[in-house]
Structure 1
Amino acid sequence: MSDIEAALATAKSFLLQSPPGELNDVYADLVTLVAPLLPGGQSQLDEALAPALRQYAAEQLTVVDLPEGKGKTLLTPVSIVEGMEDAEGRHVAPKAGSTFAWDALKATASALSPLSPSPDADTEALRSALDKLLAAYTANHYAEGASAVFALPDPAYPAPTRAPATALAEAEAGAGGTAAETETETETEAADAAAETADAAQEALPREGVETANGEAAPPPAEEAAAEAQAQAQVEAQDATAEGGDAAMEEATPAPAAAEEGTAEVAAPQEEDQAQEEPEQLPGRPSRLFALYLVGNKYNPTNYWTGRWRSTYTLDWAKGTLEGTAQVNIHYYEQGNVQLSTTLKSSTPLAASPPAEAVIAALKASESSLQRQLGETYAALSDTSFRGLRRALPKTRSKVDWDKAASYRLGQQLGGGGAAGAQ
């Protein structure tokens, strides 16, 4: 690994460990330290760290103000629209029913566009109910809190490969082709039968003519019989075609060649334009799996501390299970650098297909339990770990009066006694 690659790898590592609310400060320091080492300067650094910025924004549940006054949403690992590899990726804003472009370098959202395909109606109704209740809970319990609920891909509902309308059109086209082939075969068979009947009649009847009462020669009987037989065969062929349905009758009726060619010339471009203007749309995919995210941020740089609480819950609505993970990061940096980073997990069983209110009630109970665990941990640290680092009192078990420290005989007071104390 070259020196430049090593420097960029180290910069990425520092960036991903940025404390809550201090990403811009860390990035500014990296520009000062690393950019002079790169041939391309800050532009090369920006390009190299763009993936780390996107990763950090999603992992830390960054709160985003949507353009056009569409409210707020969260950047999360499941909100990312796949296939976006540049600095301006796209994320889903489920509450707004849109996707938006996210510039990782500028930390801004732009270019709203509707979700495509539109969400499944039943899935969206359940997701929306969970979203509203979770937003109310987050606003009541977390400072500067925000939340979002996303529908996840559900293995119980496979992803569609094409729209039903396309399949129906193909089926109709196939049926039409089969009907046309059948009608063509019927017409061919009828013509062959008429020809055979005419030949047989011509061979059975005599060829010489018969004189009429006026002495005029009548047409040869064989020719009359052949003409009648051919006409009868055509009538039978038309009757057989009529039994095939109205569609067969319409196609069996001849149309002027010029009219057919003109219609074909006009219709073909219209069909091509319609195919270009109406791309295939997949239907919304149903789901009963949901991801619930909430985040609470508290920044107090004037007193040298910042903190963030992140919670992620996965709900299997059909089975009635709620799995949760809470991550807490706190940074104190007044004349030092102390960080707390902890992860707590929970699992709550629910009834199958629970109402949205029951889900949020279980989530609230889980959050309260996690906070009690943190309180108990802090108490244990204060009583044991911190006291092991430094004693609260000297061995005399009494506080030192530092105003009188100059008059103390420290050796006597601390048990050294006599000459040892004088020395």
Structure 2
Amino acid sequence: MDPAERIQAASSFLLQAPPGEINDVLNDVRAVISDDDSLQDGVLPALREYNLTQFTTVDVPGVEHQTIVSEIARISSEEEGEERYLDPRSKTSFRFDHLSLEATDPQPTESDEESEPLREALEKATQLYLSAHYHDGVAAVFSHAGENRFTIQVVANKYNPNNYWSGRWRSQYVVNFNENKVEGFILVHVHYYEQGNVQLTTSHKLFLTLPQTAVTSSPQQTASKILAQIESEEGKYQVSLNDAYQEMGEKTFKGLRRALPMTRQKLDWDKVLGYKLGAELSASKGGGFGSAI
């Protein structure tokens, strides 16, 4: 395999990295590439894609809370001279290193005066919802200036390497007041790897119609009603996941295994080679193909 093919394979592995394990995967492929400079340059696009799609959280210098790095948060690209991202809550833009996962060069930004009151109300309602239902969750609310649209992003990570599992919840909702609707999705990724390798990846799309009563003259009331709808839908989805998990444990996984072999006796794995040799000898005595007798 030539170097270009190795880089392509490494990039593919990185894009499939489970939650919280991107550095482990990077260290593993480093041993295959054996050239850190080529590796960093070659897989940087994959790292960037991974960070943006996974809603990577980051600490911005001078800001007390974490924010989300995503495509929605990007306000300029490398082609424009530098790639910068926005933390709308603190009204701060920053540079982000996709390899070190560090934010630098924070600068204040101006918000859209017309949309900011409703954006702030959605932000506060989202933070209240986050603190009530998520452990160590991070959220960001972005306005689309002049479009009367807002995007709510939520991510919650749980890493437990001591017990060999990790998980990530991502959800995004685009609130469109021109059409009185909310379109969104939920993405869940769980990895369990004690004496094996089991991953659960699932997605769910949401399409909500905002009732006329949800849109009021008060930004706070409007935001609260929208988040109440989101809370209801996410609650239903979590219940469905629990039901599916119970179903897998009681039926699906049991159906994939046989309690005993056809002989009704447990297999002694230390004697597998002996079983194979015995089968070959039996075939030889029967005069089958390849018999020496």
Worse overlay, 370-379 or 331-340: 370-379
Q: Are 1:369 and 2:229 an aligned pair?
A: no
Q: 1:53 aligns with which of 28, 47, 51?
A: 47
Q: Which amino acid in 2 is paired with 1:10? A: A
Q: CA deviation at 1:69?
A: 3.2
CA distance in 2 between counterparts of 1:95 and 1:295 reads 15
1:331-410 equivalences under 5 Å are 331-352=191-212, 353=215, 355-391=222-258
Q: Which amino acid in 1 is paired with 2:203? A: T
Q: CA deviation at 1:96?
A: 1.2
Match of 2:170 in 1: 310
Q: CA deviation at 1:78?
A: 0.7
Q: CA deviation at 1:90?
A: 1.1
Q: CA deviation at 1:362?
A: 0.6
Match of 1:164 in 2: none
Higher RCO (C-alpha 8 Å, min separation 6): 1
Unaligned segments of structure 1, at least 5 residues = 153-284, 401-423
Q: CA deviation at 1:57?
A: 0.9
CA distance in 1 between counterparts of 2:10 and 2:106 reads 32
Match of 2:281 in 1: none
Q: CA deviation at 1:391?
A: 4.6
CA distance in 2 between counterparts of 1:292 and 1:349 reads 16
CA distance in 1 between counterparts of 2:253 and 2:47 reads 36
Q: Secondary structure at the match of 1:67?
A: coil
Q: What do you get for the CA RMSD once the two structures are aligned?
A: 2.2
Q: CA deviation at 1:393?
A: 8.3
CA distance in 1 between counterparts of 2:31 and 2:70 reads 29
Please give the per-residue CA displacement for 1:282-327, whole angstroms capped at 9, x wherever unaligned. xxx4331111111111110001000111111111023221122111
Q: CA deviation at 1:68?
A: 1.4
8 Å Cα contact 2:77-2:84 kept in structure 1? no
Please give the per-residue CA displacement for 1:330-375, whole angstroms capped at 9, x wherever unaligned. 1011111110011112222112535111110011011101111112
CA distance in 2 between counterparts of 1:382 and 1:138 reads 29
Q: Are 1:329 and 2:193 an aligned pair?
A: no
CA distance in 2 between counterparts of 1:135 and 1:58 reads 21
Match of 2:280 in 1: none
8 Å Cα contact 1:139-1:146 kept in structure 2? no
Please give the per-residue CA displacement for 1:172-228, whole angstroms capped at 9, x wherever unaligned. xxxxxxxxxxxxxxxxxxxxxxxxxxxxxxxxxxxxxxxxxxxxxxxxxxxxxxxxx
8 Å Cα contact 1:88-1:103 kept in structure 2? no
Unaligned segments of structure 2, at least 5 residues = 217-221, 267-293
Pair 1:390–1:79, CA change in 2 (3 A): same
| Greater Rg by CA | 1
Q: Which amino acid in 1 is paired with 2:235? A: S
Q: Which 4+ residue blocks in structure 1 deviate beyond 3 angstroms? A: 85-88, 391-395
Q: 1:78 aligns with which of 58, 72, 84?
A: 72
Match of 1:90 in 2: 84
Q: CA deviation at 1:83?
A: 2.6
Worse overlay, 332-341 or 42-51: 42-51
1:189-208 equivalences under 5 Å are none
CA distance in 1 between counterparts of 2:80 and 2:167 reads 30
Higher helix residue share: 1
